[in-house]
DNA sequence: ATCCGTTCTTAACAATTGTTATCGTTGCAC
DNA sequence: GTGCAACGATAACAATTGTTAAGAACGGAT
C-alpha cells in the first residue's frame, strides 16, 4: 500500500521500541506504514491493557476511527521493536482521498477488508475456545511468540497471561 | 436508509417466521430492508448455531461479504418474527453504486459504521465477561428477551444457553 | 385430547479460566 | 558488580463456564 503514495509525501523515520505513536485521547495527524519492525494497538480498560491488533511489515498502523472522524483516539499505538516507518501526514492523505479516485477506491477496499477480518475474528471469539484460537494464531503467524511478549498476545486472544502460559504447555 | 431508494426498485413482501432469506452456500441476489419484524444472521459451525447479528426495523439485512464479492454466503439469514421487508435486487443496487455518488457515499459510510460496531463488539468480547456483556445488551436493547428466543441471544453473547440462563438468574 | 417439538430452567459434575502469589531468568541502568 | 523492572512458569484456590441430562411449560399439528 505504501508504494502507492508519492515519495515526496512520505517521511521515513526510525523509532525505538516502546515508543508511543498514537496516544489515547489525542487526535493523530499522521499515518504510519511499517517498513521494518512491529507495532501494537491497545486499549486501556481501567488500567487493563487489551491488545487489539498487531501490525507488521507492510501494514498501515492508525487509529482508523479517530483518523476518519477527527475525534480523539480511544486506543494507543506503540512500537514493540525498533521500527522503520513511512509517515504520511493526515492532511496529505485527506487531499488524496478527495482528489485521487484510485486512492479512494483502495482506501474503501482496505476498510472493507478490515471489516471482514474483524467479522472473522468476532466469529472466532464467539465460537472457538481459547486453546483453538491459540492454535490458529500459531498457524497463521508461527513466529509471533518470538517477536512479541506473550502477555500482549494473551489479551489479543482474550485470555489472561497465566491462562495462555498454561495453554501453551498443554499437550 | 430504505427511504433513499426509488420506490420502483423496491418490492414489499411478507414472510412467515423462520423463513430462510439467505442460505449458506448460495449467492444472494437480493437485499432486505426490514419494515416490520426481526431477522437473524447465523453461522453454522459444524452443527453449532452461532448468531452473528440481529436485525430490527430499519436495518438492512444482507450477507455483506457475499453481496460484495459475489461469493457464496458463509452465513444464513432468517426471519424470527413475521416480517414485512423491502426487497432490492442486487443488480439494481450495483447499478446505483456505479451511477449514484450519493448512494455510493452512503454505502461506504454504512460499511465504515459497521466496522466500528464490529470493532467495539470485538473489544467487548476481549475485555468483558459474559455477565457484563449481558447487562450491556440489556441496557442497549431492553426488550430483546421479549422478542428473541434466549438461546439465540446466548450464542450472540458467546455463551451457552445454560450459562445465559444462569446469568439471568443472578442477583 | 394427545402428541411432539421448542424453549427454558435446574441440577450435578467436569473442565476451564481467573486470581493471587511466588520464583527464576533475563536484560538494562547505575 | 548490584539493583531493578519485565517477563514467564508454576502452584493453589476460587469462580465461572461447559456438558449432559431431566423436567416443566407452552403451542401447534393431528
Q: What is the mean pLDDT of each run of 10 residues along chain A (171 residues)?
A: 81 94 94 95 93 95 88 96 94 92 86 91 96 96 96 98 96 62
What order of strands is seen across the sheet that includes strand A48-55?
A: A20-22, A75-79, A39-45, A48-55
- CA dihedral over B67, B119, A56, A154, signed as positive or negative: negative
**Closest Cβ–Cβ partner in A65, A112, A155 for B126:** A155
The answer to whether residue B72 is domain-embedded is yes
Specify the number of domains making up chain A: 1
> Chain B: residue nearest A156 by CA?
B126
Contact call for residues A62 and A76 (beta carbons, < 8 A):
no
pLDDT by residue for chain B (171 residues), tens only, comes to 777 777 789 999 999 999 999 999 999 999 999 999 999 999 999 889 999 999 999 999 998 888 888 899 999 999 999 999 999 999 999 999 899 988 888 888 888 889 999 999 999 999 999 999 999 999 999 999 999 999 999 999 999 999 999 999 986
Query: Which residues constitute the domain of residue A87?
Result: 2-99
The answer to whether residue B154 is domain-embedded is no
State the alpha helices, DSSP H only, in chain B: 64-69, 90-99, 101-127, 130-140, 144-147, 150-157, 161-168
Please, what is the angle between helix B101-127 and helix B90-99, to 10°?
110
| Cα separation values, A127 from B43, B120, B125, Å | 9, 18, 12
The answer to whether residue B140 is domain-embedded is no
Flag whether residue B113 sits within 8 Å of chain A, measured between CB atoms.
no
Q: How many CB atoms lie under 10 A from the CB of residue B29?
A: 12
Q: What is the CATH number of the domain that holds A29?
A: 2.60.120.10
**Closest Cβ–Cβ partner in A48, A119, A127 for B118:** A119
pLDDT in tens, A38-81: 999 999 998 899 999 999 999 999 988 888 888 999 999 999 99
- Residue B71, judged by CB atoms within 10 A of its CB (0-12, 13-18, 19+), counts as exposed
pLDDT of residue A57: 95
The answer to whether residue B30 is domain-embedded is yes
The answer to whether residue B135 is domain-embedded is no
pLDDT of residue A105: 85
**Strand D nucleotides with an atom less than 7 Å from a protein beta carbon:** 6-12, 16-21
| Cα separation values, B123 from A41, A45, B62, B84, B140, Å | 12, 10, 24, 33, 16
Spatial distance between the Cα atoms of A31 and A103, rounded to a whole number of angstroms: 14
| Cα separation values, A95 from A90, A100, A101, B59, Å | 9, 8, 11, 33
Contact call for residues A5 and A107 (beta carbons, < 8 A):
no
The answer to whether residue B77 is domain-embedded is yes
Yes or no, beta carbons of A126 and B125 under 8 Å apart: yes
Contact call for residues A32 and A85 (beta carbons, < 8 A):
yes
How many A-B residue pairs are in contact by the CB < 8 A criterion? 64
Which residue in this structure is represented by grid cell 485521547? A25
Yes or no, beta carbons of A125 and B158 under 8 Å apart: yes
| Cα separation values, A38 from A74, A166, B23, B73, B105, Å | 20, 26, 40, 34, 33
Q: Which residues of B touch A115 (CB under 8 A)?
A: 64, 111, 114-115, 118
pLDDT of residue B171: 61
The answer to whether residue B43 is domain-embedded is yes
pLDDT of residue A3: 75
The answer to whether residue A115 is domain-embedded is no
Min Cα–Cα distance to chain A from B115, Å = 5
Amino acid at each position: 500500500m505504501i508504494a502507492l503514495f508519492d515519495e515526496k509525501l512520505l517521511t521515513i523515520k526510525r523509532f525505538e521500541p516502546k515508543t508511543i505513536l498514537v496516544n489515547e485521547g489525542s487526535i493523530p495527524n499522521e499515518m504510519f506504514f511499517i517498513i521494518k519492525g512491529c507495532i501494537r494497538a491497545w486499549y486501556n480498560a481501567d488500567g487493563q491493557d487489551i491488545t487489539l491488533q498487531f501490525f507488521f511489515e507492510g501494514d498501515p498502523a492508525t487509529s482508523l476511527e479517530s483518523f476518519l472522524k477527527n475525534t480523539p483516539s480511544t486506543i494507543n499505538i506503540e512500537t514493540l521493536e525498533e521500527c522503520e516507518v513511512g509517515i504520511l501526514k493526515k492532511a496529505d492523505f485527506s487531499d488524496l482521498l478527495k482528489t485521487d479516485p484510485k486512492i479512494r477506491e483502495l482506501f474503501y477496499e482496505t476498510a472493507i477488508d478490515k471489516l471482514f477480518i474483524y467479522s472473522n475474528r468476532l466469529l472466532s471469539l464467539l465460537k472457538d475456545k481459547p486453546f483453538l484460537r491459540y492454535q490458529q494464531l500459531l498457524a497463521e503467524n508461527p513466529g509471533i511468540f518470538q517477536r512479541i511478549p506473550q502477555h500482549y498476545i494473551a489479551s489479543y486472544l482474550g485470555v489472561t497471561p497465566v491462562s495462555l502460559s498454561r495453554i501453551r504447555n498443554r499437550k
